[in-house]
Copies of this chain bind each other. A is one copy, B any other.
Amino acid sequence: MANKNFDFQSLKVKLAERGLKVTSQRLVIFQCLLKYNEHPSAEMIFERIKDDHPSISLATVYKTLDTLVEAGLAKKIESWDALKRFDAKTEQHTHLFCINTNEIIDFEDAELSGLLEEYFKRKEFKNFTVTDFQLQINGQIGDKSKSIKLKQLK
């Protein structure tokens, strides 16, 4: 298991390639992210590593994860945004999410619904019972020319 592409040696290389300083904290955090691919939060990683590395602080975990994301070595699993948002429409439907304005727009398309329904009807998941699903389509309202990317809220 040592050489499964996330031994320290190859991680060092990856960090260095991106011009990032190689620190023991980054190696530990990066390896933890790769090794248990449980899609952890910063907190979860902190819990995992703190026994073996009691000196690493939670703030460093946060900072390091952001650094890895910036370097393209990890990805944030984006939810709509931090706020929990509500919908009075209780039936299953797809949402368009505008990355500029944070608007959420209902989207219904018989073809898409049909496609997915049919897929889920046919598909067997081993050891997983599906209750529902959500499809979020990200993009921007309007056309490609106005590509300013604000990160506003509210």
A: which residues have CB within 8 A of B?
Answer: 30, 33-34, 37-45, 47, 65, 68-69, 72-80, 82-90, 95-96, 98-99, 103-106, 109, 111-112, 115-116, 119, 123, 125, 127-144, 154
Contact = CB atoms under 8 A, between A and B. Distances in A.
B127 A138 contact: no
Given A83-B41, A142-B127, A115 B119 contact: yes
B111 A88 contact: no
Contact of A74 (B90, B139, B143): B90
Each complex incorporates copies of this chain amounting to 2
Main secondary structure of the interface of A (DSSP, over half): mixed
A69 B83 CA distance: 16
A104 B138 contact: no
A86 B33 contact: yes
Contacts of A65: 86
A139 B128 contact: yes
A79 B69 contact: no
Contacts of A37: 87-89, 106
B115 A143 contact: no
B154 A43 contact: yes
B125 A131 contact: no
B138 A40 contact: no
A75 B93 CA distance: 12
